[in-house]
Amino acid sequence: MTFDSILIFGCGNMGGAMLAGWLAGGLDPARFTVVDPFLPQAPAGVELLREVPARAFDAVLLGVKPQMLDDVAAQLAPALGQHAVLLSILAGVELDSLAARFGGVGAIVRVMPNLAAAIGKSPLALFDQGLDQAGRDAVTALLQPLGTPEWLAAESEFDLVTALAGCGPGFVYRFIDALASGAAALGLDPAQAQRLAVATVEGAAQLAAASEHSPAELARRVASPGGSTQKGLDVLDQDRALFTLIEATLRASRDRNAEMAAAARG
């Protein structure tokens, strides 16, 4: 299975980030066609159209809002042959809902990336209908330039993984903002506090990714008994307040994904 021709239908923030990641990863721009009525221009070498062309593609990335699903199904029909793979990044839209609207397609893959795809650092949760192992390997290779593809064991995990990996950057940004705002409230220049907070989280994340130790162990190692780091951790750990807050945050996002899935099923 090869993906020599890829249609991106809806090239907003997420679709644009994936396209940027593919191009930065060295994929030929001529492999991509973008259909978007509002995008002012596409990257050099990428074909930009306002309507779906009457030709089939090897893969189609569906990047519109979930509520537009019924409207776009008929529009995409000319691009989806019996051997095409439909890649859906629509949050909360299950495979059965997609199959009901794109029944003639060769395979359907749900993909949940985040905006770090633009720099090749996104987790990508995957679950499919219609692929054999060779097909999954081909999809993995296609998505590899965008970050870390992870095939899920069950589609039922998608809502939670979407909350963690899809929505998670928003939660991390909020934490960075809170770090910077806390330092500014204690007297540091706000702009300097923001720069230091971003650099701190960037370095910590890279170290966690490269380390053989878990984040919990890294936190233990950086905190000397009775030292300043431990005093701060004591506040975060009191009554498991941080863990409880994050669990509630993920639950709210997961449940919202489930609600959108129910709406898509009709």
pTM summary value: 0.85
Question: How high is the pLDDT of residue 266?
Answer: 65
Say yes or no: 177 and 100 in one domain: no
Question: Is the residue at 109 inside a domain?
Answer: yes
Question: How high is the pLDDT of residue 138?
Answer: 97
Mean pLDDT, contiguous 10-residue spans, the chain (266 residues) = 92 95 97 94 96 93 88 88 92 90 91 95 96 96 97 93 92 97 98 98 95 96 94 96 96 90 74
Say yes or no: 126 and 252 in one domain: no
Question: Is the residue at 227 inside a domain?
Answer: yes
The CATH code of the domain that includes 67 is 3.40.50.720
- Three-class SS of the chain: CCCCCEEEECCCHHHHHHHHHHHHCCCCHHHEEEECCCCCCCCCCCEEECCCCCCCCCEEEECCCHHHHHHHHHHHHHHCCCCCEEEECCCCCCHHHHHHHCCCCCEEEEEECCHHHHHCCEEEEEEEECCCHHHHHHHHHHHHHHEEEEECCCHHHHHHHHHHHHCHHHHHHHHHHHHHHHHHHCCCCHHHHHHHHHHHHHHHHHHHHHCCCCHHHHHHHHCCCCCHHHHHHHHHHHHHHHHHHHHHHHHHHHHHHHHHHHHHHC
Question: How high is the pLDDT of residue 236?
Answer: 95
- Domain that residue 252 falls in: 168-261
Say yes or no: 126 and 193 in one domain: no
The CATH code of the domain that includes 241 is 1.10.3730.10
Say yes or no: 107 and 230 in one domain: no
Question: How high is the pLDDT of residue 74?
Answer: 86
Say yes or no: 90 and 25 in one domain: yes
Q: In the chain, how many domains are there?
A: 2
